Chain A
Amino acid sequence: MNWILEGRCWKFGDNLSLDDDIIEFAKVFVQGVRVSDPGYLKQHVFTNLIPDFPQRAKPGDIVVAGKRFGQGNPHIYGLLGMHGLGLGLVAESVPRFTYRMLIAAGLPSLPFCPEITKMAEDGDELRVDFASGRFENLSRGLSAKAEPLPAVLLEIIALGGSTNALRKRLEEGGPLRTGGKASVP
């Protein structure tokens, strides 16, 4: 897994909601059934804020957000859509359920970077190493260091998210892998 993404900064403010800003919840349903395919969901990411976002965003682009990114009812779909677009996330903070869901969705993330919105503007060129936590603004020559996700969680992201990680756990570890440190992948 290449942990370094380089691309355009898409900057957003505080309190982006899971069910309206990141993706409109009604768009998650196709014929009354929730869809969790990132290839489908990516068409609707951030479209309530930037209508042509899915067409303009490129793999490697980085979303920079303020506090409480992904607040609201714990629905993962918008994060799966961001994964589908090949984005990374750098946020000042996220609620705990969203922290879980970033991992489950397989989205490279630095979820706790205080003040990071002061270091980047929309359209800047960024380079972020999600394994080390190094953040660079190439347009402005600024850099910062954030706490990266723990290695055990990076491994889940490297596998593409929780479903693939579970598949691997089942293949390798048998049905039950608990009992403390021995169980940590």
Chain B
Amino acid sequence: MGMTLTEKILARASGLPSVKPGDIIYPEADLATIHDLYVVEADKDLRSLGVERPWDPGRVFVCFDHDVIPQSVAVANRARAIREIVRRWGVTHFFDAGRGQGHVFPMEIGLVRPGMCVLAYDPHVTNYGAIGCLGLALAFEFPAVLATGSHWFRVPRTLRIELEGRLAPGVTVRDAAAVIIREVGPDGADYRVFEFAGPALDRLSVDARVKLCNLPVEIGAKSAIVQADGRVEEWMRERGIGPFEPAASDPDAVFEKVLRFDLSAVEPVVALPPMPDNVVPLRQALGLPIQAAYLGSCAADQYEDMAEAAAILRGRRVAPGVRMIITPGSQEVVEHCIREGLMAVFVEAGALVGPPGCGPCAIGRGGPLADEETCIATVTRNDVGRMGSRKARIYLASGATVAASAVTGRITDPREFLG
């Protein structure tokens, strides 16, 4: 019997000829990823177990993307402790503050590649699915991965989503991803891997695929993945990353369900607070006054997201009474924005450009919301308190909608600025 792409990666990482949904397996991480907020706790947990350093420091990735610029002496002291721990562990893949968002730049530098199995402390590792890598998150149990390289997993079922059609002008793949999580819903998503496929994929760049792979985890999906095809190969070649073994589901693989999804039917949408799957047509929120607009986080901080917003901000200004913060995902994205003149657009529009990292999506770091404020943002989630005050409201939307709303000071349809 054939296997899905996810089952193939899990079988290979577990040293088994094959796996099927429901099997309990112990895959070994090709890479284990943690971020700055977890390092001190991880070291404490490992030492209480008598473990001095991770099972294979060459396969551990640590990056500073949450507290990029320490806002207090206590945080600066913790940053110093993190650097000491990383040195003691002998970690090869350590990236200090400002290098980028950890769910984005490892793909750009070839550290994460198609077919890999990455075990992570943080749920948005599913971004790596955009290039055919399987990312799985663990949280509380992560010391097991650091100590041994593996931990138990139950092989998930795969839900295949066949994309067809073309997005209309002013409608973005973020809108499509939001509609997909609304349609599938928590019961349909729980414990499944979303595998994106279909004829429309040829027209979707790696940046666009990251948007597709980022959102499903919010409703309980285990992961999301797209097979590594010619688009991925081209993207990697542009970055000087060597060849890879193509990986795809077998023709006779068993999917729990195959859903067809027509991109041409998608309209701009917004997720109302406080749940990321409260997705409604944008027209239901039009005109709502905002005080903050944010473009960034691992859900929307690649070059295409920046370009989508810049197309609207070019020659315009952020409205009085609104602050707009932008955090590009990595040094590569910053350089690309400079090369293409996007930074000038952002500065002339009066937006604040922050350092690469998670930005205010990490509980408001680098720009928290105040009580009673309303923000429109591209962030991953809109729970109470996600971007600062528990009394603020967060509306989730595409980079284009965020930019259009920043310009008018009210939630605005980006199509008003087109053509």
Contacts and interface: CB of A to CB of B under 8 A. Distances in A.
Contacts of B156: 96
A98 to B, nearest CB: 9
A145 interface: no
22 contacts: A68-B186, A74-B139, A74-B140, A95-B190, A96-B191, A96-B220, A156-B152, A163-B143, A166-B144, A166-B148, A173-B148, A175-B51, A175-B55, A175-B149, A176-B55, A176-B56, A176-B150, A177-B148, A178-B27, A178-B28, A180-B25, A184-B25
A170 B50 contact: yes
A169 interface: yes
Contacts of A152: 24, 152
A28 interface: no
Instruction: State the 5 A-B residue pairs at the shortest beta-carbon distance, nearest first.
Output: A180-B15, A96-B191, A178-B28, A179-B15, A183-B26
Contact of A170 (B45, B148, B220): B148
Nearest to B54: A175
Where chain A touches its partner, the secondary structure class is helix
A141 interface: no
B389 interface: no
Contacts of A156: 152
Interface residues of A, number: 32
Contacts of A131: none
B141 A162 contact: yes
Given A96-B220, A178-B15, A153 B143 contact: no
B71 to A, nearest CB: 15
A40 to B, nearest CB: 16
Given A152-B152, A162-B140, A170-B51, A178 B26 contact: yes
A167 B148 CA distance: 11
Interface in A133-185: 150, 152-153, 156, 162-163, 166-167, 169-170, 173, 175-181, 183-184
A98 B138 CA distance: 11
A173 B28 CA distance: 15
Given A95-B186, A162-B141, A175 B220 contact: no
A101 interface: yes
A64 B149 CA distance: 36
B152 A153 contact: yes
A153 B24 contact: yes
Nearest to A169: B148
Nearest to B29: A178
Nearest to A180: B15
Interface of A: 68, 71, 73-74, 76, 95-97, 99-101, 104, 150, 152-153, 156, 162-163, 166-167, 169-170, 173, 175-181, 183-184
Given A163-B45, A163-B143, A176-B148, 18 more contacts: A71-B186, A73-B383, A95-B186, A95-B220, A96-B190, A99-B154, A150-B24, A156-B152, A163-B49, A166-B147, A170-B49, A175-B55, A175-B148, A177-B148, A178-B27, A178-B150, A183-B14, A184-B24
A101 B55 contact: no
A153 B222 CA distance: 19
B152 A177 contact: no
A3 B56 CA distance: 37
B258 interface: no
Interface of B: 14-16, 24-28, 45, 49-51, 55-56, 123, 138-141, 143-144, 147-150, 152, 154, 156, 186, 190-191, 220, 222, 383
A100 B141 contact: yes
A104 B150 contact: no
A178 B139 contact: no
Given A96-B190, A176-B55, A177-B148, A166 B27 contact: no
B150 A166 contact: no
B235 to A, nearest CB: 31
A104 B141 CA distance: 7
Contact of A181 (B16, B139, B143, B186): B16
A95 B189 CA distance: 10
Contacts of B139: 74, 76, 97
A181 B18 CA distance: 11
Contact of A101 (B14, B15, B140, B383): B140
Contact of B150 (A71, A74, A162, A183): A183
Which of A166, A167, A170, A173 has most chain B Cβ within 10 Å?
A: A166
A101 B154 CA distance: 13
A180 B154 CA distance: 13
Nearest to B13: A178
A68 B138 CA distance: 19
- The winner among A73, A101, A153, A178 for most chain B CB atoms within 10 A is A178
Nearest to A19: B383
B2 to A, nearest CB: 20
Contact of B148 (A97, A100, A178): A178
